[in-house]
Structure 1
Amino acid sequence: EEKAPDVDLAPVSKKGLAHPARPGAGTVGKKVMIRANHFLVNVADNNLFHYDVSINPESKSRAVNREVLSELIKLHGKTSLGGKLPAYDGRKSLYTAGSLPFESEEFSVTLVDPEKKDKEKAEREYKITIRIAGRTDLYHLQQFLKGRQRDMPQETIQVLDVVLRESPSWNYVTVSRSFFSTTFGHRGDIGEGLECWRGYYQSLRPTQMGLSLNIDISATSFFKPVTVVQFVLEFLNLRDTSRPLTDRDRVKIKKALRGVRVETNHQEDQIRRYKITGITPVPMSQLIFPVDERGTRMSVVQYFMQRYKYNLQYTSWPCLQSGSDARPVYLPMEVLCPCLLRHI
């Protein structure tokens, strides 16, 4: 009976591959010093602990979550948290070098919400639950870096990456895995109400010399720090502000500003923030809405004059809209400024 020829089967996964070791360093030539965008990172030999974080009421904003955790650390850092300075990813995970003095604990903090009107509503209470999720030791990472282990401990790399992002996340504007600031260079005008900011991207990489922090330059667009009216004038390239906006103009504005958070500027002592959900189909001069439970109706123009003594000028333009279609909040463009946000 004829035997089948021997066939080298491919490994079932990359983990089965044994890469050949480097035979040695070069011995010929001249040594030169070069600059590279890599920086060696030394890590203390300490166990890393992973904790699940649950915040109630839940927020989709990393900035709000970080504010909540920051307040928690201020109140309980030296007591209940055992003097630890945790690294937080802004979502569900928190990491510490060494364990916290508990496996599960619930805390309560109160923050001032700038989007609310009166003082009573301005304070919001948050419940934070911190629960042990796992432990990561650095042994496997050290073995991998020394070439004694084939599998890269990706989870450990991710934990250290979160730790290295902690400080810049507080000091700079974070977009995905990059950090931006006006201190990094000139803000370049790119038209249509936008400007370009410089920043940098960072990533932790294992190398033959050890852990390396890779840093690359990056850039992205932000809204200019101008009023919404000024943004619209530049965005649509308008000169005549007295004529009504066309349906095409309205659609373009809606696409550009939907989801953007804006701040009011018609009250010096009170700034409120809103998230834009749409734009009204009719000019501001035609917008009438109920102002009380008795059904009293008033135009937006009348309301601003009566409530704030503010004479609206761009009455032929539509209002931006916040809230839902059932309970809309009408926002005249001339009393709004975009918050510091990247243009998406």
Structure 2
Amino acid sequence: MHEEQKKTGPVMELDSMGLEARRGRGRGRGRGRGNPILVSSSSLTSNEAASVGGDSMFSVSQQLSSMKVSGSSGASSASGFSEGSGMSGVSAAKAEIIKPLKPLPFGTLGKRIKLRTNYFKLALKSNPTVHRYEVEISRLGSNFRINRDNMRMIFWQAVEENRNFFGNTYALVYDDSRCFFTTEQLELHNGEINLSVTVGQRPIQLVVRIRYTASFTLDISGRNFLPNGVLQFLDGLLTQNVRNMLCAIFLRFFKAESCSREPPTFYPYGQCIYLIATDAARDRRFKQTIGPGLEAWNGLYGAVKIGSSNKLLYNCDVTTALFARQRFNLINIYVEILHARRPNDRFLREMNDENLARNLSIDGWNRQQLMAASKRLILAYIVQVFRESLQLCVTYGDDRATARHYRFVAVGKPATTVRFDYVSTDEVTNREVRVVMTVEEYFRRIKGINLFYPNLPVIHVGSSARKIHIPMELLATSVTPQKIRRNLSEFERSQLVRFSCYSPRERVERTRELMDRQNIEESDFLRQYGITIDLEFLKVNGRVLKPPDIATEREDHDRYKVVSVVDGSWKLEKFTECHRAMVFCVVSVDGCFQRKENVSLTAVSYRAPDFKSDAFRAYASV
């Protein structure tokens, strides 16, 4: 018996579909390689009822269920399997090779319909050779951490300054991180090259190191799967007209002289691209205010898949994410934080009247609330160059000044009380002169700006070591898209869910419009690699089955009430007796945030009335 088993070779294990056995020590993910499984012919004629997959699958499942696993050694021993052997009871003479089972025929019940899916067909006209290169960006003499937005900007600036080296721009596919693909093999010395790039308003010398890693041929004929590297390339290729900063569809506000250009249309983040919606009528439905200084943006999530007929498909769907509002003044954020639901008339009158605005201030408790709310908003966005922070910019000065970004640190005291040493140079003696002045005096005397709200707190920006105090009314959020990745409050989460829930028809319309805005059909990158996309939604056959009836238990527990389902819905009736609320509470917060007033909450408890009484009906009608 054992001699016969040893002839069958090493232990084989079933792949994820259970149709084929593989050699080796795979982890159940179908990555092994080996020979087909050998099963005795007697198992094919079993009289037992077959499970899903046929008779052979039933025999295999029976043997698997009889296995005994040892906890100490991890080896299995049973009548079905023995140590170092194949299946027991299987002789080499009677063994047969089982071919993969054909799929079962489609059902015949229900009405036939056509279903529209969020898949699009991709056609590959040629089989180009693609070369993969690694990218590493570093700073000489110091550690340098950088996020994907800046990596994208630095890489494409290096491409722009070295066009002869990189060749055709439309052949470059960059993943905004550590690798890029191209059809042209670059001329590298010893397999790598270092390029020097100077970026930023304050020049920073960076080194872009490029190293060759591998090549592959883009060919999917007769294949039902693709390696992760090829899928990564295809995912980046389909959105490269958005990610490539040298294209007209994406223009980055990094240099001061670029501020007069047309703003970008999409913002790429991972496998998603988000529409940067403006205040135009056609863009308003793609964004929604969620909280103080927060907006929800619509975008597209895309991934390349291999269909059942070994065809390339592009899966695309609408996605929603939270962003900081662009170029939004901090005064407006202050109003939304302290008066999120409904600013009272007195507060609005003081905000808009110049004489009353100069006396507008907040007490210590409200300053703490503002600080806590600002931290929840501002310390959420990740800027890996320095630390967690939201990028701010000033609203005064020339284009170069407004293009500079500052990092939020803290909320300070009013501009009329914060003092610092102002250092100037005497024109006669050419010596340094130190003058102690307030922030309000500095902007009035040096900058020529009369603050509209001098008693509102200043914002501490920059770093903890170097204190830079700027009045709140002179700061705004950056025009650069900033994705928020913090935990949302219950109210913000409910607003986000409400905005991101669409009917199937509306989801199709949004997907269609966003793909038209992306202009993917005319992408020069797809044309370079010989790929075309059909923007018609892929249609598949389906059937509408009769829904089952719903049976609910009645009060007598003897009979069941059957409820008919029509178009996926049914009439709601009294199925369960709910408990009646006996006590409820009313909380009044009206006017609690008025100037120089503390929060006063009035809570009154009432006993729930009899909802069926005439007195309650009269009260409800009033």
Q: TM-score, normalised by structure 1?
A: 0.80
Deviations 1:50-106 (A, max 9, x none): 1111223346232332222223323322x2223353111222211112422323222
- Contact persistence 1:180–1:200 (CA under 8 A): yes
Report deviation, 1:132.
Answer: 0.9
1:285 is paired with a residue whose SS is: coil
Give 2:194's aligned residue.
106
Give 2:419's aligned residue.
288
Answering whether residue 159 of structure 2 is matched by residue 65 of structure 1, we say no
Give 2:444's aligned residue.
305
Answering whether residue 482 of structure 2 is matched by residue 341 of structure 1, we say yes
Answering whether residue 344 of structure 2 is matched by residue 218 of structure 1, we say no
Cα distance in 2 between the residues matched to 1:255 and 1:246: 14
Give 1:263's aligned residue.
393
Q: 1:185 to 1:199 in 2, by over 3 A?
A: farther
How does 1:233-248 map onto structure 2 within 5 Å?
A: 233-237=335-339, 240=347, 242-244=360-362, 245-248=366-369
Cα distance in 2 between the residues matched to 1:246 and 1:110: 41
Cα distance in 1 between the residues matched to 2:292 and 2:239: 32
Cα distance in 1 between the residues matched to 2:395 and 2:269: 26
The one of 42, 45, 57 aligned to 2:123: 42
- Contact persistence 1:59–1:65 (CA under 8 A): no
Deviations 1:246-273 (A, max 9, x none): 3122211222123111121111443143
Letter in 2 for 1:63: D
1:144 is paired with a residue whose SS is: coil
Answering whether residue 296 of structure 2 is matched by residue 196 of structure 1, we say yes
Answering whether residue 254 of structure 2 is matched by residue 175 of structure 1, we say no
Give 1:83's aligned residue.
168
Bigger radius of gyration = 2
More strand by share: 1
Unpaired runs of 5+ in structure 1? 146-150
Cα distance in 2 between the residues matched to 1:277 and 1:143: 55
Q: 1:185 to 1:299 in 2, by over 3 A?
A: closer
- Contact persistence 2:137–2:209 (CA under 8 A): yes
2:223 is paired with a residue whose SS is: helix
Deviations 1:104-129 (A, max 9, x none): 22223444x3xx4xxxx4x4444322
Letter in 2 for 1:164: L
- Contact persistence 1:46–1:98 (CA under 8 A): no
Q: 1:194 to 1:132 in 2, by over 3 A?
A: same
1:342 is paired with a residue whose SS is: coil
RMSD: 3.4
Letter in 2 for 1:250: M
- Contact persistence 2:135–2:179 (CA under 8 A): yes
Cα distance in 2 between the residues matched to 1:302 and 1:21: 84
Q: 1:278 to 1:110 in 2, by over 3 A?
A: closer
Cα distance in 2 between the residues matched to 1:197 and 1:129: 35
Report deviation, 1:211.
Answer: 1.8
Give 2:181's aligned residue.
95
- Contact persistence 1:51–1:95 (CA under 8 A): yes
Q: Percent identity?
A: 20
The one of 191, 216, 235 aligned to 1:161: 235
Answering whether residue 215 of structure 2 is matched by residue 135 of structure 1, we say yes
Cα distance in 2 between the residues matched to 1:69 and 1:302: 44
Aligned length: 327
Cα distance in 2 between the residues matched to 1:323 and 1:198: 32
Cα distance in 1 between the residues matched to 2:456 and 2:438: 14
Report deviation, 1:9.
Answer: 5.8
1:159 is paired with a residue whose SS is: helix
Report deviation, 1:21.
Answer: 5.3
Give 1:148's aligned residue.
none
Answering whether residue 317 of structure 2 is matched by residue 208 of structure 1, we say no
Cα distance in 1 between the residues matched to 2:422 and 2:178: 41
Give 2:563's aligned residue.
none
Cα distance in 2 between the residues matched to 1:295 and 1:142: 77
Letter in 2 for 1:260: L
Letter in 2 for 1:261: Q
- Contact persistence 1:201–1:216 (CA under 8 A): yes
Unpaired runs of 5+ in structure 2? 6-10, 16-25, 37-52, 54-99, 244-249, 251-264, 352-359, 380-388, 424-431, 486-622
- Contact persistence 2:167–2:184 (CA under 8 A): no
